[in-house]
Amino acid sequence: MFMRNAPIGVMDSGVGGLTVIGEIWRQLPHEEILFYGDSARCPYGDRSTEEIELFTFKALDYLVGQGVKMLVIACNTATAICLELARERYEIPVIGVIAPGARAAIAATSNRKVGIIGTSATICSGSYPKALHATHQGIETFPLACPSFVSLVERSVTPAEALPIIKATLQPIESTHIDTLILGCTHYPLLAKMIQKVVGNDIQLINSAEQTARDVSFWLDEHQLTRIDLHDPFHVFLTSGDPLQFSQIGEQWLCQSIDVSHFDVWRTEFLQSTGDE
Ligand code: DGL
């Protein structure tokens, strides 16, 4: 009973995880969320495997320590590098965003040519082609790293500044004849309108959030973890970055105001040990 009413722990390197939370709220409005966005260390996607593991597990350990009933790694980069290890490390269910995105793309493509855009770490990991081919070996994949996109989102740059960068970065997509493009970074749905404008309406964009939320729903059911508390859910948003900027982006994306607090998982031990807070 206690575990059923515990929150779902969700993490991302920054604001991108909000795109997954929006879908969890839509599909599972009674569930509570404890979210940690590590904007102080964002982007993860340009970092080494060791650093991505270090930062991701520090965040996940914190969420597990808070008693969450399930973990959602709402970050493709962290999913690519850490999902399997996280499933070995924790006793609670751990959901990533790559397999759901791959499944959604397979369902969407007609010509079996699928583009994947993501951070350098996600693209280098080969996780998306692997996930796509695990389900459908006939899919032709066209991966492209877009290292500049995450900071466009985190800095909330204007469309006038973002559009030329998006256009130049996506230029290699033009000759591929893909009909489906996976937004393989949870930050990218926040740029979806501009990405769609650049690639044209014949290419279907895939955001893994919807399918990920379905997986969350399935696992809650499977493990009998669906919340049964009748009180309205209380959500907690924590960021190691600027809470004001985070809440502004969150409100725009979620169309409702959110309370965001500054909290850094790396600072707690220091503050506790000095008694300094
Ligand atoms: N939202 C993360 C992802 O899905 C962002 C990446 C980053 O921090 O570079 O990959």
Residue 270: its pLDDT value, please? 54
Contacts of 20 (CB under 8 A, 6+ apart): 10, 12, 72, 74, 97, 186, 208, 209, 212, 213
Residue 140: its pLDDT value, please? 97
12 lines ligand 1 (CB under 6 A): yes
75 lines ligand 1 (CB under 6 A): yes
What are the beta bridge partners of residue 34? 9, 236
**Nearest 10 degrees: Cα torsion 38, 41, 168, 210:** -20
Structural domains in the chain? 8-96+210-271 (3.40.50.1860), 98-208 (3.40.50.1860)
Continuous segment of H or E residues that includes residue 71: strand 70-73
> Any catalytic annotation for residue 185?
yes
Measured from the CA of 42, which atom of ligand 1 is nearest?
A: 8
Return the amino acid letter for 170: L
Mean pLDDT by runs of 10 across the 277 residues of the chain is 88 96 96 97 96 98 97 98 98 97 97 98 98 96 97 92 97 96 96 97 96 96 91 95 94 93 85 46
Starting at the earlier edge strand, list the strands of the sheet with 70-73: 94-95, 70-73, 8-12, 33-37, 236-239, 260-262
Give the mutation target among 10, 11, 13, 152 for probing the ligand 1 site: most ligand atoms within 8 A of CB: 13
- How many angstroms does the Cα of residue 129 sit away from the middle of ligand 1? 18
- How many angstroms does the Cα of residue 150 sit away from the middle of ligand 1? 7
13 lines ligand 1 (CB under 6 A): yes
Residue 276: its pLDDT value, please? 45
Burial (0-12, 13-18, 19+ Cβ within 10 Å), 137: exposed
Report the distance separating Cα 41 and Cα 22, nearest Å. 23
Q: What angle do CA 98, 75, 72 make, to 5 degrees?
A: 80
Report the distance separating Cα 49 and Cα 42, nearest Å. 14
Measured from the CA of 187, which atom of ligand 1 is nearest?
A: 1
Report the distance separating Cα 247 and Cα 256, nearest Å. 10
Residue 275: its pLDDT value, please? 43
189 lines ligand 1 (CB under 6 A): no
77 lines ligand 1 (CB under 6 A): yes
> Any catalytic annotation for residue 255?
no
Show the tokens assigned to 168: 């130049």
